[in-house]
Amino acid sequence: MNTVGVSIKRLEDPRLLRGAGRYVDDVVRPGMAHAVIVRSAHAHARLRHVDLRRALAHPAVLGGVTGADLAEPVRVIPLRSGARPELAPYLQPPLARERVRYVGEPVAVLVASDRAAAEDARELVEIDYEPLPAVVAAGEAASESAPRLFAEGNVAAS
């Protein structure tokens, strides 16, 4: 059966349109905790310091981690398509360490007893950034004069 270019009736739409959809955010379990991710506001910057102390002092916060807290084997996110040694320098850590390379890159995770407390605690995380020049167009990234996101360069493979 060839479905390319053919309209396919979506089976899930009626329940979603009636407000009967169920989402992860709808799940409530006894003793459940809520996590928030603290994300970079910079496209490219050195992470001078990430301080969770004020956030961890919040009464509803259960814990938190930064990239510096992660040990092997979770130092980088592995490739799903198989090992390619030439890509190893470009693998992304779950939480940034030393440098952020895009707006929204995860820097820390906080866990609290409820969602509101987790979101409030996120605002208490203190991050000292040293902004660096950013690459704003993909075509610029391959240029020799472009700011380097990685010591090895900006082109992982071609």
- Do 42 and 100 contact (CB within 8 A), yes or no? yes
Overall average pLDDT of the 131-153 stretch: 89
| pTM for this prediction | 0.81
Give me the domains of the chain, ranges plus CATH numbers: 30-141 (3.90.1170.50)
How does pLDDT run across 34-75, given as a tens digit for each residue? 999 999 999 999 999 999 999 999 999 999 999 999 877 677
pLDDT at residue 113 in the model:
96
